[in-house]
Amino acid sequence: MRSDEHEVAEEPQKQDGRKEDVERQLHKLRRRLDGIDDKIVALLSERQTEVEQIIAFKKAHSLPVYHPAREENLISRLRQQGRKVGLDPDFVEELYRRVLRQSRVEQTAHMARRGVRAGATVVSVGGNGAMGRYFCRWFADAGYRIRVLGRQDWSEADARCKDADLALVSVPIEVTTEVIARLGPYLPIECVLADVTSIKGPPLEAMLQAHNGPVVGLHPLFGPTTSTLDKQIVVATPGRNASSCQWLLDQFAAWGSIVIQADAGEHDDIMGVVQALRHFATFAFGQFLRLKDIDLHRTLDFSSPIYRLELVMVGRLFAQDPSLYAEIIFASPERRALIKDYVRCLNDNLTMLGRGDKALFCEEFKKSAKWFASFSEQAIRESSYLIDKLIERF
Amino acid sequence: MRSDEHEVAEEPQKQDGRKEDVERQLHKLRRRLDGIDDKIVALLSERQTEVEQIIAFKKAHSLPVYHPAREENLISRLRQQGRKVGLDPDFVEELYRRVLRQSRVEQTAHMARRGVRAGATVVSVGGNGAMGRYFCRWFADAGYRIRVLGRQDWSEADARCKDADLALVSVPIEVTTEVIARLGPYLPIECVLADVTSIKGPPLEAMLQAHNGPVVGLHPLFGPTTSTLDKQIVVATPGRNASSCQWLLDQFAAWGSIVIQADAGEHDDIMGVVQALRHFATFAFGQFLRLKDIDLHRTLDFSSPIYRLELVMVGRLFAQDPSLYAEIIFASPERRALIKDYVRCLNDNLTMLGRGDKALFCEEFKKSAKWFASFSEQAIRESSYLIDKLIERF
């Protein structure tokens, strides 16, 4: 039974015939809409086939697959096209961003199998952990030869490191420097030594100490559940002989990642804020909701999209591995000091709260607003987009 | 000059002819893709026209416009259709969610002009403020007669309230109860009295005191910059004679809003968390970034999507009116007490941080994880969706 029928509150007998008629006409209109949708889906499939042909062609001629300028031109053209036929250009742009992302994901999926140095030998140190296994899969798919050096395998270290082109260390943060020191003597001089630890200072120093060949520190800003590396960030902190390490960075770029260069000190300072402080703030907010035993599901009934967005980020954190967050937050004395400063800064607001001092709040607010001013346009644009997406979907 | 050309690092002279050929072929492939895109845009425009016809038809036959079940059927059908022609069904679903939202927005834009009680008289008390002006526009577009009762207009209160069907109070929170008390004597007994204050206890009580006719407290969870009311939440706290207030709630529903019923006490408790606590936490995080003078733009270069998402929410807050947030945070002694508890709860983590006690952190984390468990699947699903959207767009 159509739910429409409940809504027409007229005398049943007299209206039956007319109602059937209305239903029939509405059905006809909807069938026309369905016909259009079928054509759109068919065209999307045709489009996908064309994109596959272009990829094959580019591959055959060693042309780069991703072409940002072409994407922007395409969007501009279709916005105009849309406006001409009475569509909201923002609507057309959003749809096509999604379409283009889909083809990019497909393209990089193809590219995953393209090794920048296919055939080279990668020793995955800690290759049985989640992150180690993850990278083994990517390198293996790209045609590299993989050897795993796990915790139990040190008696075989000599054989496993022989003629290695890359030793990639992905072990827990607290044993990283120790593992690197132990690994060093087994590596051929021309082998690239790299790690994927979330802090970069101490591991990089340890690598430079342990190995005289090329060294680069990496911090991939994603976890082992990320299905595509499209636009995922990898921070690279140069150690020694950057040109010999370049192929490794090119490999990440070929997988779709964005490689950002920084020195280890800058990386660690910024990550204190981006990861440690941010995660701690989220942890503390969730901890408080639990201690107060707030009715989460009822808060969601009432929630503005902003609260909902924040709450799903809190829920996301607590759905993950505690030790991962403990490692990030407690990684260094500097980080712990930063977080303590943050708590103290919150404390400084207690007097204002106690006195109900709105004027002081507004004054502090305005200072921060001024400080954030250069970011505010971007913040509004991106957050409005996210809020729209949240409203659209859930 | 095409950016591709830089990438083909071969001997220039010998390759010129072949390169031109490759360019020509690529151009041909791209033209085919462009042709498909043109067809898709044309079909989207056709689709929009069909939707407009369906709206007109429904309007003419007094049928409800929004039809959730029909939407879900359509999505299921197109997912299947997509799968048949080799498309990722999630991709098809996401595209169509966007398409359907667009037609919903268009439909409600049409409906905005459909008044549930068109012709009725609405007195907008505080109608010169941002929120007052906003609602005046919506009611006027829906065919209501609008009279504004501003701060300067009390000498005319008698005339403006005569035969009013609704008095809608949208004045600053600190004068709400006072304005309501002053307004009461002017209202006809059958007039609906409603307010849009972000706390509900004291204003509702004041309305029941001041007026013996129908009373309902409203809290629209959106601001005067919201361009569509589609799926925007309005909390309704019943006061007196709910059936006489129903048309007002129906009007919000006709505009696309979702009306949630709650009693004033529950509303105020939950909003303490959803608004006051959440905004304070965001305020304090931004305040700390300023005090530490962190290089925001550099943190964004390095940022994971999660940090970026959080940071744009912080930036968004500081792009708005401080007094709005001061009002929400300082609205009641209960709210200030809640926030003070939050700061104290953060303090309790200082010893753990000082000692670098990872074990205690993990223990606390696990307790919270258990507490959040019933929410975690939803949190992962929604946050992953948002992160994908962020990566896709920016």
Q: Do A273 and B294 touch (CB under 8 A)?
A: yes
Q: How far apart are CA A100 and CA A94, in angstroms?
A: 10
Q: Is B253 on the interface with A (CB under 8 A)?
A: no
Find chain A residues with C-beta within 8 A of B286's C-beta. Answer: 368, 372
**Domain A21-112 falls under CATH 2.40.50.140:** no
The 10s digit of each residue's pLDDT in A30-39 is 999 999 999 9
CA A246 vs CA A110, A111, A123, A237: distances in Å: 22, 18, 17, 12
CA-based nearest residue to B190, from B227, B163, B208: B163
For B335, which residue in chain A has the nearest alpha carbon? Answer: A353
Find chain B residues with C-beta within 8 A of A361's C-beta. Answer: 322, 325-326, 329-330
Contact assessment for residue B193 and residue B168, using Cβ atoms and an 8 Å cutoff: no
Q: How confident is the model at residue B3 (pLDDT cuts 50, 70, 90)?
A: very low
Confidence at residue A378, expressed as pLDDT on a 0 to 100 scale: 86
CATH for the A121-262 domain, from 3.40.1350.10, 3.30.390.50, 3.40.50.720, 3.40.50.620: 3.40.50.720
Interface test with B, best of A15, A32, A231, A353 (most B CBs within 10 A): A353
For domain B17-112, the CATH architecture is Up-down Bundle (1.20)
Q: Sketch the domain layout of chain A as residue ranges.
A: 21-112, 121-262, 268-393
Confidence at residue A62, expressed as pLDDT on a 0 to 100 scale: 74
Confidence at residue A66, expressed as pLDDT on a 0 to 100 scale: 65
Same fold, B17-112 and B121-262: no
pLDDT, mean of residues B67-86: 85
Find chain A residues with C-beta within 8 A of B372's C-beta. Answer: 286, 290, 296, 314-315, 318-319
Q: Do A302 and B48 touch (CB under 8 A)?
A: no
Find chain B residues with C-beta within 8 A of A268's C-beta. Answer: none
Interface test with A, best of B80, B99, B306 (most A CBs within 10 A): B306
The 10s digit of each residue's pLDDT in B20-38 is 788 899 889 999 999 999 9
For B62, which residue in chain A has the nearest alpha carbon? Answer: A8
Q: Are strands B215-220 and B233-240 parallel, antiparallel or unpaired?
A: antiparallel
Confidence at residue A5, expressed as pLDDT on a 0 to 100 scale: 36
Confidence at residue A256, expressed as pLDDT on a 0 to 100 scale: 84
Strands (E), chain B: 121-125, 145-149, 166-169, 192-195, 215-220, 233-240, 258-261
Percent of chain A exceeding pLDDT 70 equals 92
Q: Which amino acid is at B102?
A: Q
For A333, which residue in chain B has the nearest alpha carbon? Answer: B356
The 10s digit of each residue's pLDDT in A194-230 is 999 989 999 999 999 999 999 999 999 888 877 788 7
Taking the CA of residue B341 and the nearest CA in chain A, the distance in Å comes to 9
Q: The tokens of B193 are what?
A: 């009295």
Taking the CA of residue A186 and the nearest CA in chain B, the distance in Å comes to 33
The 10s digit of each residue's pLDDT in B190-243 is 999 999 998 999 999 999 999 999 999 999 988 887 778 877 899 999 999 999
Confidence at residue B96, expressed as pLDDT on a 0 to 100 scale: 93
Q: How confident is the model at residue A18 (pLDDT cuts 50, 70, 90)?
A: confident
Kindly write down the DSSP assignment for every residue of B174-226, as one continuous string: GGHHHHHHHHGGGS-TT-EEEE--S--HHHHHHHHHH-SS-EEEEEESS-TT-
Find chain A residues with C-beta within 8 A of B237's C-beta. Answer: none
Q: Are strands A215-220 and A233-240 parallel, antiparallel or unpaired?
A: antiparallel
The 10s digit of each residue's pLDDT in A239-291 is 999 999 999 999 998 888 889 999 999 999 999 998 999 999 999 999 999 99
Supply the ipTM of this predicted assembly: 0.73
Q: Is A230 on the interface with B (CB under 8 A)?
A: yes
Find chain A residues with C-beta within 8 A of B355's C-beta. Answer: none
Rg of chain B over CA atoms, in angstroms?
28
Interface test with A, best of B66, B222, B311, B325 (most A CBs within 10 A): B311
Interface test with A, best of B29, B73, B392 (most A CBs within 10 A): B392
Q: Is A236 on the interface with B (CB under 8 A)?
A: no
Q: Do A302 and B267 touch (CB under 8 A)?
A: yes
Picking from A43, A53, A336, the nearest residue to B356 by CB comes out as A336
Q: Do B343 and A342 touch (CB under 8 A)?
A: no
Q: Are strands A233-240 and A258-261 parallel, antiparallel or unpaired?
A: parallel
Q: How far apart are CA B99 and CA B91, in angstroms?
A: 13
CA A98 vs CA A44, A87, A233, B5, B136: distances in Å: 12, 17, 20, 27, 37
Mean pLDDT, chain B, whole residue set: 88
Three-state SS at A200: coil
Taking the CA of residue B113 and the nearest CA in chain A, the distance in Å comes to 20
CA-based nearest residue to B214, from B182, B186, B248, B181: B248
Confidence at residue A337, expressed as pLDDT on a 0 to 100 scale: 94
Query: Is the CA virtual torsion A315, A321, A322, A325 positive or negative?
Result: negative
Q: Do B98 and A392 touch (CB under 8 A)?
A: yes
Q: Do B356 and A278 touch (CB under 8 A)?
A: no
Q: How confident is the model at residue A90 (pLDDT cuts 50, 70, 90)?
A: confident
Q: Is A285 on the interface with B (CB under 8 A)?
A: yes
Q: Is A61 on the interface with B (CB under 8 A)?
A: yes
Percent of chain B exceeding pLDDT 90 equals 61
Contact assessment for residue B244 and residue B214, using Cβ atoms and an 8 Å cutoff: yes
Q: How far apart are CA A166 and CA B116, in angstroms?
A: 71
The 10s digit of each residue's pLDDT in B323-344 is 889 988 998 899 999 999 999 9
Q: Do B273 and A294 touch (CB under 8 A)?
A: yes
Q: Do A57 and B25 touch (CB under 8 A)?
A: yes
pLDDT, mean of residues B132-140: 95
Picking from A22, A86, A98, the nearest residue to B61 by CB comes out as A22
Three-state SS at B115: coil
What pTM value is reported for the model? 0.73
For B325, which residue in chain A has the nearest alpha carbon? Answer: A362
The DSSP element (H or E) to which A215 belongs, if any, is strand A215-220
Q: The tokens of B291 are what?
A: 């005090």
Interface test with B, best of A278, A360, A387 (most B CBs within 10 A): A278
Q: How far apart are CA B211 and CA B205, in angstroms?
A: 10
